[in-house]
Amino acid sequence: MQRKPLLAAAFAAALMGFGAAVQAQYTAIVSSAPPAPRHEVVPAARAGWVWAPGHYEWRGNEYAWVEGRWMRDRSGYEYREPRWVQRADGSWILVGNTWERRGPNGDRDGDGIANRYDRDRDGDGIANRYDNNRRNRTGPNADFDRDGIANRHDRDIDGDGVRNRRDQFPYNPRRS
């Protein structure tokens, strides 16, 4: 008896042009934490295929294990593994298990944040504006020679072994 209203709603959505919403990705928001993932033996890599690891999904009123499987690789896309993430309100949501486009509008470092919104594009835990690995290696927080000392505190900015005050070319490691 309860299936009729559900079927009627799905049919009405399809008629109104919302057919894609009926085919949307699996989404679950759960109040209890998922169990620890099971140990799976990951098979050797296969050309043209991507391994989708096993994960728990919320089905009914409990977590159910979904076995890992091979999926055919999609040109121009990267597969995001499924994982449970805890939200600010304490609930849990399953994210990933999707294909994302590579490139400038994709997610190069794989953290789930699109490049245009990502404040840490290389995934090293340091925000872009403070990151020493940027192409522009000048500025107060930059580290030209990548020795872990910011330029403003570094006595040998280019790392050539000659202190800056005695170095005629402090930003050129090949000249002193």
Q: Which residues contact 2 (CB under 8 A, 6 or more apart)?
A: none
Give me Rg for the CA atoms of the chain: 25
What span, in angstroms and rounded, lies between the C-alpha atoms of 120 and 108? 11
Query: Is residue 49 scored above 90 in pLDDT?
Result: yes
pLDDT of residue 65: 94
Tokens found for residue 69: 């499987």
pLDDT in tens, 121-131: 666 666 767 66
CB 51 within 8 A of CB 42: yes
The CA-based angle 95-13-84, given to 5 degrees, is 10
> Per residue in 73-82, pLDDT tens?
988 788 888 8
Q: Is 9 helix (H, G, I), strand (E, B) or coil?
A: helix
- Model confidence at 158, pLDDT cuts 50, 70, 90, reads confident
Give the three-state DSSP class for 8. helix
Q: Where are the domains of the chain?
A: 25-37+45-101
CA 89 to CA 97: how far, in whole Å? 23
**Given pLDDT bands bounded at 50, 70 and 90, which one contains residue 151?**
confident
